[in-house]
Structure formats: C-alpha cells, structure tokens
Structure 1
Amino acid sequence: MNSNIMLTFNKQTFITLLFLLFSTSLFAETYYVNSKKGNDKNNGTSKKTAWKTLWKVNQQEFKPGDQILFASGTSYTGQLMPKGSGTEEAVIKIDRYGKGEKPQIDGQGLKESTVYLYNVEYWEVRNLKVTNKGGEAKAKRRGVVVRAEDFGDCHHIVLEGLEIFDVNGVLEKKKGGGSAILWQNKGKVKKTRFINLQILNNYMHHCERNAINSKGNIQRTNWHPSLGVVIRGNLIENIPGDGIVPIGCDGALIEYNIIRKGIDSMPMGDAAAGIWPWSSDNTLVQFNSVSDHRAKWDGQGYDSDFNCFNTTFQYNLSFDNWGGFILICNNGFTLGEPMNKGTENSIVKYNLSINDGIRPYKAHNKRFFAPTFHITGPVNNTSIHHNIVIIPDKEKAEMENHVVEFQDWGKRFPTKTIFENNLVRNQSEAKILEKGAKGFVNQNNDIQKEFDYSERNPQKILEQLQNNPLFENDKEFMKLYEFVKGFF
C-alpha cells in the first residue's frame, strides 16, 4: 500500500475513534433532582430547573455519560429504578450535589428494594441514604438490589458511599431473610453474570437479616461465574445475620471491611457468619475485621463454605465472635451433585484471633459449642498455618474450650488437613479433637499457657509476639501487623 494512502487511512481512523470517544460526552446530560425546590414539569438539566420526584427520574431512559444528581439534604419516598445503560467510556452516575446530609430515599417497605438496578450496566451509584422499613417485617426485603436476568455479561456496577439502614426483612433464613444489599444474576435463556461489580465504602446498619449477600449460578455443570467482584472498605454494624457472602464468583476480592456490634436476635439453630464465599473459586479474603458475631449457630468471623475451591483467608482480625474464628465445611449429603463438587484447597494463614468462641449458652446441638477452628464434612486439602490465637478463660466453666474440632457432615469427615506453625496461647487447657479426621497433620505449633491475657489490644499483642521464632523477620507477619496498627 502506498505510504501516503496508509497515512491518510491512519488519520481517518484516528479521527473516527476520537469522534466516537467524545460524541457520547457531547450528548450526555446532567439531571438535577430536588424534592424541596424542583418541579417534574421542568427539564431537569439545571439546578434551577430540577425535577422533584423519583417518579420523574424513573420515566427517563438515560444515555451513556449522563449524571443524575440529588440535592443534599433532601428526601424522597418510593423506589428508584433508573433505565438505560452506559458504556465503558461513558458510565452513568448517580450522586449528590450541594452541601449537607446525603439525600435520603425511603422505600417505606412497599417494594422489594428501595434502589433497584435491573438489566442495566455501566452504572455508578454514590452518596445516598437508603432505607426500606415497612410496618412489619417482610421476607426478602432489601435496601439495594442489583439484578441481571438473561442479560449476558453485565459490566461495571459500582455502589459506593451509601448508607443503608432500617431494612426490616425477616430473621429466618429459610423464610427468605432480607439484607442491605443483594446482587443476583440469573436467567434460563442467556447465561448471565457480573463483570467488575464493586461494593465500596458503604455503611450498613440495623438491617435484617444480612448485610451483603448474593444469588448466582452455583451449578458446576453450567458454570458461568461472575468475575472481578470487589467488596472493599464497608462498615457493617448491628446486623445479626451474614455479613458478606459472594456466590457464584471466580476471583472475588474481599478486603478492608469491618463487621462489628452483632445482635443476638436470630432463632435457635439459624446459622450465619461474618464473611464467607459459597460456590466460588479463588476467593481472597484479606485485611478484614470481624467481631461480636452472635448467631445462634455457626457465628464465626469467617467461613470457607461448600462448593468452593482455592479460598484464601490472610491478614484478617477476628475477636469476640461467639461461634469461633473460622468454619471450614462441606455438606456430605450433597457432595458430588452439580451444586456441590467439594470444598478444597482452603488456606488460612497469618490471621489474628482473640477471645473467639464465647457463646454463653448451649447451641441447638445441646453443647456450648464454639471451637476456634471448626472443620466439618468432606473438606479436602486444608492448610492452616502461622495464625495467632489467644484464648482467655471462658466466662463460664462449662463453656467448651477447643482450638480445633473435626466433625462429620453427612457421615463424611475432613481429609488432608495440615495444622502447623500456629501460635496458640490458651489460659486453660484447649483441646484439639481430631476424631474422624483423615490425614490430619499437627506439627510445629507453639501452644502455651504463659501469656498476659488481660491484654486485648491487637497491636500490643502482636508486638509481644513479633520476636517469636515463628514470626521473626517474617514479611507476611508484618503485613498483618501493619494492618492491625493502621486499624487501631
């Protein structure tokens, strides 16, 4: 090809690409919403001509690059269900403008959720207060729902800086529960999943039953996991059930979240835990803090649940959780079915557990059951190493004191569990109950009674132990220490 023709072609291509890149921003609009000063007869494209209600927002089909800004200090009732999708180059954004409190949307318990993103992509929703409290508790009530159905790959949904509170779902899991945030991908016609879903820096409190939970594809015979899921920097308080539960994901990252101030309100036998993947692979759970979990059953800070492969828990903090530090489990009754191909290759390393396993009454199995490490059912190839566990005396003499307890689930026991190079300080004798476990390796652990159990500050505890031979000049230990130091 002639060089002059090639040069002309390249210039034309470049100009075309520039036009495509900037044309969306040229035609994008910013819409303003103000419940105090707006009017739905306005065009909404300036602060002086703002819309008034959610109804008006829901009528508009938004285009790539559009913004919808709610006036600070205003409030709205009903459901926000925006339409239209952005693009990778021009996402659609919901945010606030002006000074004052975040704008609040109250769903009043009338619909499943107050904010509903359905079959849209490339959306970012920030800086809203969201509540959905009805006259009485109702199953499956949520604050925010993100749902993709027969959609294909649903890209780039961001929920950031939201405060979600007073969502009165039901406490019973079998009846449908409820949550601050639910994200769900489903469909029978077209395989659907999320790509780059981000839940960042939100504050969730006083919601029933859960904080962040999900529903996705769990069938290994039709495996189509969500990718690039990130759950980071969220504060979860006064929520009795599950904290963060990714389902049907590959490579989910869960980090720098805080779960605390748990509530003992669920019915006997109803299980929940702090952070746990289900039917997910290659999940990384790191730099989180979970405390005060008080579920009637389970109640651990962390959990590697079934149909999960290659889950890693590292550099996390866990304290005062009634059910213990961590559960690693698999259901032997369903092992081998499409929804349960196993729980394998779980890694638990360089975590700090302080005063976990303190449930003050008998669980539904008629025991004061709360081992620090609970490993049950046919889980395979579990590695637990370089964790620090501090076990002060229990509140009541009859409360059990078990560092590790193996059990069967569905008449199947764990296989190939390595428990090594862990540091345990137990004020009274703490047992390791390995009955039924196959291929259990228990070696090179530093287990002693001598310790200052009155010290509960995690940073000071780590400072006392940093010269222990297990951690001396250990860069991974320092990652845990720096996290704890910054946390407090």
Structure 2
Amino acid sequence: MRIGLDCGIGIPMRSAALAPAPIYYVDPAGSDSSDGLSPATAWQTLGKVNAATIPAGSQVLFKGGVTFSGSLMLREGQHFGAPGQTTIFGSYGTGNATIQASLNSNRGLDALNPHHVTVRDLIFVGTGQTVSTATGCHLVNDLLGNAKLSGVSLLRLDISGYGVDGIAVYTGDNAYAATSASGFDGLLIDGCLVHDCTGNATDYTGNGITIQGLYGLAANPVSHTSPVIRNCKVYNNTGTAGITVSHSGSGILLGQCSGALVEYCEAYNNGANNTYASGPVGIWFYECLNSTIQFCESHHNKTGVGTSDGGGFDIDGGCQGCTVQYCYSHDNYGSGYQIYQFSDATIKGLSGNTIRFNISENDGTQAPASKGGVLVGTAESGRAAPNNNIHNNTIYNSLASANGFYLFSNPNQFSASYFANNIVYMTGIGSKVINSSTSLTPAYLCIGNCYSSPSTSLKWGSATYTTFSNWRTAYPAQETVAGSASFKAANPSLVGPVPVGNIGGFDPLALGSYKTQGASVCRNGGQNINSLYGIDPGPRDLFGNAVPQGVNDIGCFESA
C-alpha cells in the first residue's frame, strides 16, 4: 500500500497560453527511436508507451486494425492527467487496435492509481479464458487514507480471453485484499463488450465486470462513489469449477459502492462452470448503498450447482436503499429477481430496497421448485430486514413446479415489507403462485396482486392452500385492505404472445406483449401503495408511462 495523496497535488496546471497537448501515435511499422508525434514518426511498441512520460491532457493513439503484443501499463507520474486535462489512450485510423497478451500473465490494461484518464476504442485479447492467469482491464487504487480518484473512463472496449476478471476495479489487488477504503469517484464504464473470460479464476475473482472495495460496511466507509456502468454486453463468462471459498462467473457485480448506476446493459450465458454453493448472478449488488440497476436484460445465466443463484438480478447482503427497476429477466437457471441477506455481522442490515416495474419470464429453469420469479430471503436471525418492497412486476412462468413469489427465510426477519400490485401468471403444472418457507409474522404482506395458475396452489409455512379464502382465513392481514379482499384471481389478459425470449438488451417496444388488454382486471385494479404504506412508486412504468394515471394498475404496465 502507498500513502494516500490528493491526485491533484503536485501536478502543475497548464496555462491557457501554452500549446495544445501533443498526440502520440503508435504503429508496429514505426520506431521507438522516433518522436511519436505523427503517423509518419510513430512509436512502435507498448514497451515504449509504458516507459514514456506523457504530458497531462495528451492522447496516445494506436493504429487501428493492427495488433500490439503485451500489456498497456499505466502509472502515476507518467500517464495520467489532471482536472480539465484528461489523458486519452485509444485508436486512430480504420478500426480499433488490438492489444494481444503474449504471456498468460499479461493483463490487457494494468492501471495503478489512475485518475483523469480515458481508455477507449481498443480491443484487449488474452491467451484464452482457461489458460490466462490475468484480468483484462485491472484498475487498482492502493492508496491509504480513504482517497478517492476521479476522472477515469473505459469506453467502447472489447475484452475477451482473460482467465480472471474481464474488467476489475479494486481497492488492493482483488476483492478481499483491501486494507483501506480508497477507491474511485465517478468511474464510467460505457459501451464495453466483456466476454469469454473468468475460466481460470481464483478465490474472490472471476466476474465479467466488477467494482469492489473494502469489505464490511457495518464499520467501514464505502470505497467507490457514483460509478456508472452503461451500454455494456457481458456474456460467456463461465466462471471456474473447484473454487471452494467464493463464487465465480457473474456478469456484473458491484460491492462497497454508493450511488452506483447500472443501466442499458445485457448479461447472458455467464456462470456455467461455477461449483461454489452460491452465486453467480447476471447483474447484482452486495454491500451497496442507494444504488440502481435499470433498463437491463439478464438472461440464460447459469450456475454449476442447483441449490441457489444463477439468476438474473440480485440485491444482496448489506444493501440499503437499492433499486432494480424497468428490467427484463428470462430463462435464467436461478430466480429472476432476488433480495437476500447472508449472515455476517460485519455487513449492514438489509433494508429499504425495491424491485419494481420489471418482467420475469420463465426463470428458474435449473430447479424451478427451489427458485422463483422473485425470491426474497435472509439467513440471519436477530436482525430485522425492514422496508424491502416488491411491486408492479409481471412474473410469467410456464415451467412445471415453478414458484411465482418465493419467500425463503428461516427464521423470518422481514418486516414492513410488501409484495404489491404484481402479476403472478403461472401456466405450468404444479406451480405455486406463492411459496413461503415461513409463516411467522411480521413477514411480507401481499397486497393488490393478480394471481393466475392452472390450479390455485399457495404454500405459507408448513401448510399448502388451494383457495385464497382459506389462506386469508389463516392469515387475515394478507390481501386485505380496509377489511376487503385486495387481490384478483384471474387471467391477467396480457396483450401477448408470451414468452418473448431474447430482445438483445432493454427495448420496451419488444416487450409490448406484457401490457394488459383493455378489459384486463389489472387495469385500474391495483392499490395505492403510496397512500396506504408510504411506498414511493417511482415516476414511471416499464414502458415510460407516468405513474399513476388515475387508479393504480397491477403489473409492469400503467394504462392511461
């Protein structure tokens, strides 16, 4: 570790009267003895770039359509900019340049304590995901003293063939190496393709894109503030079999962040080789505060074991004030959406999280009976998990023995939490619209939902009910508002046809099948969860319609 310094201290600010920062060119046909200041006098190798001292605000551009061998290694005092003087590394000419690992240990991008730097329009290729021992793009802040580095962007990169992580942003060398809460502020990862990595991961590594810091937010501050991951595709990151202490093969995983935003991303076919008992998931948070996942598609994600996870989206242990909204999950081995607290006193309690205006389609393909369209659970006892609300989602499943809403919690720790205004549309034989492992109260209150299944089957605690009347007699607070039944037991009359399948990233125009028809009982059939329970429904539905428009609708669509 190094002592933390303000990244602006000691960096001279350039006067407006000075000449523009130079542009350096790199071409395999060039020469490292040249000045690099024009295509005709280009440098030749990555070694020259790595050893050079680049003035703040300069550009270093690699010739497009050709390949450079080795790693791009960026260091303080040589390669970074200053406020208002971002240094850029990218491509010029036709197409993007490729940086090809020559050794299994070669990282594509190796940046130590980066700030005010953009890496864009490059292709990083490892030696193969099952032989490479390196990460594709590895960004580390190892400063002491809770130092936050800013001005870092990764734009339009294509990263593949690395054995560990695709893109990793860490405090220390990996997710559990941190000894301070130093990290990054406003980090941007935009337009990147991360694929076919993670096949040779080690403990606490092996994700498509990950941002993680100092573990244990019950006692420590967050490491990373306001990171953004946007417009990325993360796929075929299989994970690694045989790791005994951690999972591998997640698509996008963030931890120890506040104000994080993941949007317009697609994660698919990740995690197939994971053999750890939990994880991975397509897109998820743990130990994150006030962070959001939205406008994403997560599908066909897997896990090598059938007991848990392998799902689409997850708000996991230690998360507070996090939201998953306006997303589409389908055909995942695990649950479509999950809120879960693992047992660890060093993390914060699970509270104030929301899953709203999403679609789950045929999730739980690996083990339908033990997963769900939405799953919530906690492994803790003695610590409450309040205000974790799930509303206005549409859950469709045609698999046999599937669960719509699966409450998996022993003992139950949830309180002041609502499953409200959701469509639970099950067409498979033996499906359960609700499956709760606990009957203890306080628990989730189900309010204003529309349920449809071949034969009503609802498990609450040790009992299974075949009528809503019997369930509500046993638990009179369920589906009851002002003394009257609040639910609908009817086909939701979706526009259809469903299922929809792959749509190549979030696109509401491709999801119109999940709107309700004009005569649907779901139109104007919901409850006002704001006035009843103080739940902010958010500004819009999945399709961009303002919420509410008159009486609340049930499901992800709000009709006029």
In which range does the TM-score fall when normalised by the shorter chain? 0.7 to 0.9
In 2, distance between residues paired with 1:124 and 1:471? 48
Correspondence list, 1:337-348, <5 A: 337=346, 340-348=347-355
> Using a 3 Å threshold, how does the CA distance of structure 1 residues 188 and 433 change in structure 2: closer, same or farther?
closer
Q: Percent identity?
A: 23
Aligned to 1:304: 315
Aligned to 1:355: 362
Aligned to 1:269: 277
Equivalent position SS for 2:197: strand
Q: Over residues 375-416 of structure 1, what are the superposed CA-to-partner deviations in whole Å (9 max), with x where a residue is unaligned?
A: 11144321001101111133xxxxx3111222236x564333
Which of residues 412, 435, 441 is equivalent to 1:438?
441
Aligned to 1:219: 216
Correspondence list, 1:120-199, <5 A: 120-133=114-127, 136-137=130-131, 141-150=134-143, 152-167=147-162, 169=163, 178-186=164-172, 191-199=181-189
> Using a 3 Å threshold, how does the CA distance of structure 1 residues 113 and 351 change in structure 2: closer, same or farther?
same
Tell me how far 1:111 sits from its aligned partner. Answer: 2.6
Tell me how far 1:259 sits from its aligned partner. Answer: 1.2
Structure that is richer in strand per residue: 1
Q: Does 1:204 align with 2:194?
A: yes
> Using a 3 Å threshold, how does the CA distance of structure 1 residues 473 and 412 change in structure 2: closer, same or farther?
closer
Aligned to 1:416: 416
Tell me how far 1:273 sits from its aligned partner. Answer: 0.3
In 2, distance between residues paired with 1:262 and 1:248? 22
Tell me how far 1:134 sits from its aligned partner. Answer: 5.3
Counterpart residue type for residue 237 of structure 1: Y
Structure 1 unaligned regions, length at least 5? 1-18, 170-177, 395-399
Structure that is richer in helix per residue: 1
2:373–2:396 Cα contact (<8 Å) kept:
no
Aligned to 2:551: none
Range 271-280 or range 79-88, more displaced:
79-88
Aligned to 1:287: 295
RMSD over aligned CA atoms reads 2.8
> Using a 3 Å threshold, how does the CA distance of structure 1 residues 52 and 314 change in structure 2: closer, same or farther?
same
Counterpart residue type for residue 460 of structure 1: G
Which of residues 445, 454, 459 is equivalent to 2:511?
459
The two structures have a TM-score, normalised by structure 2, of 0.72
Which of residues 235, 245, 248 is equivalent to 2:253?
245
The two structures have a TM-score, normalised by structure 1, of 0.82
Range 412-421 or range 251-260, more displaced:
412-421
In 2, distance between residues paired with 1:34 and 1:406? 58
Q: Over residues 350-372 of structure 1, what are the superposed CA-to-partner deviations in whole Å (9 max), with x where a residue is unaligned?
A: 0011111111xx5xxxx852222
Counterpart residue type for residue 147 of structure 1: V
In 2, distance between residues paired with 1:189 and 1:269? 27
Q: How many residues align?
A: 438
Aligned to 2:337: 326
Aligned to 2:10: none
Superposition misfits of 4+ residues, deviation over 4 angstroms:
186-191, 451-454, 465-479, 482-485
> Using a 3 Å threshold, how does the CA distance of structure 1 residues 350 and 145 change in structure 2: closer, same or farther?
same
Equivalent position SS for 2:511: helix
In 2, distance between residues paired with 1:473 and 1:64? 59
In 1, distance between residues paired with 2:268 and 2:337? 16
Equivalent position SS for 2:312: strand
In 2, distance between residues paired with 1:325 and 1:188? 31
Which of residues 229, 238, 243 is equivalent to 1:231?
229
Q: Does 1:388 align with 2:394?
A: yes
1:279–1:308 Cα contact (<8 Å) kept:
yes
> Using a 3 Å threshold, how does the CA distance of structure 1 residues 34 and 20 change in structure 2: closer, same or farther?
closer
Structure 2 unaligned regions, length at least 5? 1-12, 199-205, 239-248, 454-490, 501-509, 527-536, 546-555
> Using a 3 Å threshold, how does the CA distance of structure 1 residues 158 and 262 change in structure 2: closer, same or farther?
same
In 1, distance between residues paired with 2:330 and 2:169? 28
1:61–1:82 Cα contact (<8 Å) kept:
no
